[in-house]
Amino acid sequence: MESSSSPTEAKVVFNERTATVGDVSLHYRIGGTGSPVVLIHGYAETSHMWGPVMPGLAKTHTVIVPDLRGAGSSDKPATGYDKKTMAQDIHGLVKSLGFDKVTIVGHDIGLMVAYAYAAQYPDKTDHVVLMDAFLPGIGNWKDMWLMRDLWHFHFYGDVPLALVAGRERIYFEHFWNDFAANPKHSVPEADRQIYAAAYAQPGGMRAGFEYFRNFEQDAADFQQFAQNKLTMPVRVISGEKSGGLFLIDQVRLVANDVQGQVIEGSGHWLLEETPEKVIPVLNEYVH
């Protein structure tokens, strides 16, 4: 399958492929030429979220856009949802494509995977861009993890699965609306339909809940990783109406070369809420 960029962009073709990496088959899109950039999506979305930035980045980079294990069209195994393992998935994909060193970008859960990638493969990581969430185990992370409004971090198991079955769209509306600065200017309706259908696939919600169930393991892993600070450039983009400075302050605890920008007026859904502000910053940060 192939898709092309919008008419206003230079024509760049993205090919859809799958790769078997260890115990999982990952779906991904790839296009462009030049140094490789990996874009990793977060929860309540899939690789589809990166559509607005892919054509521009592909003018000067080979852009690799996977669905994480458990999401989109990738496999949904029973285990392996700690971010250390999920980063190993992405590294296996990168190696299978013949690339050695990459720039890695992650949003939400994807930024946790991106950090785990850079921490495990520092000599294989050129730059890191982390977008609006937090790092389990680092600094005052429990201030975020235990916030009353973030109840979904603790919502998993058989009863939550039964409650959400057939009501995936209702459940995800909480994220798309409540995490936005303005719920009427958040994830577009067409995209909401795509994401709700993706997570409604067999095993999709169980896998999504596993991202959260593994936060305590992630915290232990990240505390171990943090004993060796990252030395490559790490850049942070955060929403003013979302995490604000929280992630930037966290990243300074785990990396030496850190710059961050808080996007004025934006909530969590950076690319959807304020693309005119976020995309230029992202393009600047990706080398």
pLDDT in tens, 184-236: 999 999 999 999 999 999 999 999 999 999 999 999 999 999 999 999 999 99
- Could you tell me which of 169, 166, 144 has the C-alpha nearest to residue 154? 144
Is the Cβ–Cβ distance between 130 and 154 less than 8 Å? no
Q: Strand order in 35-40's β-sheet?
A: 2-4, 13-21, 24-31, 61-66, 35-40, 102-107, 125-131, 234-239, 258-263
* All residues at 6 or more sequence positions from 139 whose CB lies less than 8 Å from its CB, including other chains: 249, 250, 253
156 has a pLDDT exceeding 90? no
pLDDT of residue 220: 97
Give CA–CA dist 224/243, Å, rounded.
24
- Could you tell me which of 145, 140, 131 has the C-alpha nearest to residue 217? 145
Q: pLDDT band for 11, please (50, 70, 90 cuts).
A: confident
Coil/strand/helix, residue 176: helix
Residue bearing tokens 């983009």: 237
Q: Over pLDDT 70: what percentage of the chain?
A: 95
Lowest mean pLDDT among 133-137, 157-161, 268-272: 157-161
142 has a pLDDT exceeding 80? no
- Could you tell me which of 20, 282, 283 has the C-alpha nearest to residue 132? 282
pLDDT of residue 146: 65
The secondary structure of residue 138, as a DSSP letter, is: S
48 has a pLDDT exceeding 90? yes
Write the DSSP assignment of 87-117 as a string of letters.
HHHHHHHHHHTT---EEEEEETHHHHHHHHH
What would the mean pLDDT of 57-80 be, rounded to a whole number? 97
Q: Quote the tokens at residue 285.
A: 């940060």
The overall average pLDDT reported for the chain is 93
Q: pLDDT band for 144, please (50, 70, 90 cuts).
A: confident
Lowest mean pLDDT among 2-6, 34-38, 94-98, 112-116: 2-6
Residue ranges of alpha helices (H) inside 147-261 are: 158-164, 168-178, 189-199, 204-213, 215-225, 246-251
pLDDT of residue 241: 93
pLDDT of residue 30: 98
By DSSP bridging, strand 13-21 and strand 102-107 are unpaired
Give CA–CA dist 172/1, Å, rounded.
28
